[in-house]
Structure 1
Amino acid sequence: MKNRREFLKTSLLGAAGLSLAPTLLQGAPAIIKSYNKPNSLINGVQIGCITYSYRSMQDQSLEANIRYIKESGISAVEMMGEPVEYFAGMPSPTFNRMRGFQLGFKQRNGENLTSDEQQELAEIRQASEAYAKVVSDWRAKVDYKKFEQVKKMFKDEGISIYAFKPSAFGMNNSELEISYGMKTARILGASHVTLEHPDNDGHTMILGKMGEKHKMSIGYHGHEQQTFTFWDKALAQSPKNGLNFDAGHYVAAGHRDMMELIQKQHYRILSMHIKDRQKPENGKGNLPWGTGDTPLKDILTMISKQKYKFPATIELEYQVPQSSDAVKEVQKCLEFCRKALG
Structure 2
Amino acid sequence: MKDHNISRRRFIGSTALAAAGVAFASKSTFAASLFQAKPNSKINGVQIGVITYSFRSMPGSAEQLLQYILQCNINAIELMGQPAEAFAGMPKRESGEDMAGYFKKVADWRASVSMDKFKELRKMYNDAGVTIYAWKPNALGAKNTDAEIDYAFNAGKALGVTHVTVELPTDDAQTKRLGEFAEKHKIYVGYHAHTQATPTLWDTALSQSKYNAINLDIGHYTAGTSSSPVDFILKNHDRIMSMHLKDRKYHDGPNAPWGQGDTPIAEVVKLMQKNKYKFPATIELEYDIPKDSDAVKEVIKCREFAAKALA
Match of 2:9 in 1: none
- Paired with 2:165 and 2:83, the residues of 1 have a C-alpha distance of 16
Residue 285 of structure 1: CA displacement? 1.2
Match of 1:222 in 2: 193
- Paired with 1:291 and 1:94, the residues of 2 have a C-alpha distance of 44
Match of 1:114 in 2: none
User: Aligned letter for 1:36?
Assistant: A
TM-score w.r.t. the length of structure 2 is 0.86
Match of 1:316 in 2: 285
User: Aligned letter for 1:331?
Assistant: I
TM-score w.r.t. the length of structure 1 is 0.79
Deviations 1:285-330 (A, max 9, x none): 1111111110011000000000011100000000111111101100
Unaligned runs of 5+ in 1: 1-30, 96-122
- Paired with 1:91 and 1:66, the residues of 2 have a C-alpha distance of 22
Show the 5 A alignment for 1:145-184.
145-184=116-155
1:288 aligns with 2:257: yes
Residue 161 of structure 1: CA displacement? 0.2
Match of 1:84 in 2: 84
- Paired with 2:74 and 2:172, the residues of 1 have a C-alpha distance of 35
Match of 2:214 in 1: 243
Describe the shift of the 1:201–1:34 C-alpha distance in structure 2 as closer, same or farther (beyond 3 A): farther
Match of 2:40 in 1: 39
1:67 aligns with 2:38: no
CA contact (8 A) 1:34 1:158 kept: no
1:191 aligns with 2:192: no
- Paired with 1:72 and 1:265, the residues of 2 have a C-alpha distance of 30
State the aligned residue count. 280
- Paired with 2:199 and 2:98, the residues of 1 have a C-alpha distance of 37
What RMSD over aligned residues (CA atoms) do the two structures have, in Å?
Answer: 1.9
Unaligned runs of 5+ in 2: 1-31
- Paired with 2:54 and 2:99, the residues of 1 have a C-alpha distance of 22
CA contact (8 A) 2:227 2:250 kept: no
1:263 aligns with 2:234: yes
- Paired with 2:78 and 2:100, the residues of 1 have a C-alpha distance of 25
Match of 2:305 in 1: 336
- Paired with 2:98 and 2:263, the residues of 1 have a C-alpha distance of 37
- Paired with 2:230 and 2:138, the residues of 1 have a C-alpha distance of 30
